Chains A and B, each alone.
Chain A
Amino acid sequence: MSQLNIVEAINLALHQEMAKDKSVVVLGEDVGHEGGVFRVTTGLQKKFGTARVMDTPLAESGIVGTSIGMAAYGLKPVAEIQFDGFVYPAFNQLISHAARLRNRSRGRFTCPMVLRVPYGGGIRALEHHSESMEALYAHIPGLKVVIPSSPAEAKGLLIAAIRDPDPVIFFEPKRIYRAIKEEVPTKEYVIPLGKAKILQEGKDITLVAWGSMIRECQRAAEKMKERSISCEIIDVRTICPLDSETIIESVKKTGRCIIVHEAPRSGGWGAEIATRIQEKAILQILLVFAKP
Chain B
Amino acid sequence: MIEHFNPLEGKFLQILDKEGNVDKLLEPKLSVTELKKMYECMVLTRMADTKALALQRSGRMGTFAQVLGQEAQVAVGFAMQKQDWFFPSFRELGILLARDAPLELFYLTFMGCEEGNRSPKGINNFPLSVPVGSQTLHGVGVAMAANIKGHKVVAVAALGDGGTSEGDFHEAMNFAGVFKAPCILFCQNNQWAISTPRHIQTASKTIAQKAIAYGFPGIQVDGNDALALYAATKEAVENARKGKGPTLIESLTYRIGPHTTADDPTLYRSDKEVKYWQERDPIKRFKIYLQKKGIWNKKYEEDLVKRCAKQIEAAIAKAEKVAAATKPEDMFKYMYAEMTSELKEQFEYLQKNLEAKEE
Contacts and interface: CB of A to CB of B under 8 A. Distances in A.
Contact of B148 (A51, A103, A109, A144): A51
B330 interface: yes
A57 B114 contact: no
A73 interface: yes
B167 interface: yes
B140 A69 contact: yes
Contacts of A110: 337
Interface in B42-85: 85
Nearest to A100: B335
A89 interface: yes
Interface stretch (A60-68, A151-159, A177-185, A255-263): A60-68
A114 interface: no
A186 interface: no
B148 A241 contact: no
Nearest to B116: A106
A158 B64 CA distance: 42
A291 B143 CA distance: 46
A101 B178 CA distance: 26
Contacts of B138: 65-66, 68-69, 72, 97
A29 interface: no
The SS class assigned to the B binding surface is helix
Contacts of B167: 61, 89
A92 B171 contact: no
A25 interface: yes
Contacts of B131: 92, 96-97
A169 to B, nearest CB: 14
B148 A105 contact: no
B175 interface: yes
Contacts of A62: 137, 168, 171-172, 174-175
Nearest to A89: B167
B333 to A, nearest CB: 8
Given A97-B134, A105-B117, A106-B117, A72 B142 contact: yes
Given A92-B134, A109-B127, A69 B142 contact: yes
Interface in A42-63: 51-52, 54, 56-57, 59, 61-62
B112 to A, nearest CB: 12
A75 interface: yes
A11 interface: no
B256 interface: no
B292 interface: no
Given A61-B167, A65-B138, A142-B336, A70 B144 contact: yes
Interface residues of B, number: 44
A70 B341 CA distance: 29
A107 B114 CA distance: 10
Contacts of A132: none
Nearest to A49: B148
A208 B116 CA distance: 43
Given A97-B134, A106-B334, A61 B168 contact: yes
Interface of B: 85, 114-115, 117-119, 121, 126-127, 129, 131, 134, 136-149, 155, 167-168, 171-172, 174-175, 178-179, 330, 334-337, 340-343
Interface of A: 25, 51-52, 54, 56-57, 59, 61-62, 64-75, 89, 92-93, 96-97, 101-110, 141-142, 144, 164-166, 194, 241-242, 244-245
25 contacts: A56-B175, A56-B178, A61-B167, A62-B168, A64-B137, A65-B136, A65-B168, A67-B141, A69-B138, A72-B142, A73-B145, A92-B131, A92-B134, A102-B335, A104-B114, A104-B117, A104-B127, A105-B117, A105-B118, A105-B127, A106-B334, A108-B118, A164-B337, A242-B342, A244-B342
Which 10 interchain pairs have the tightest Cβ spacing? A69-B141, A65-B137, A62-B171, A66-B141, A73-B145, A241-B340, A165-B337, A69-B138, A106-B118, A70-B145
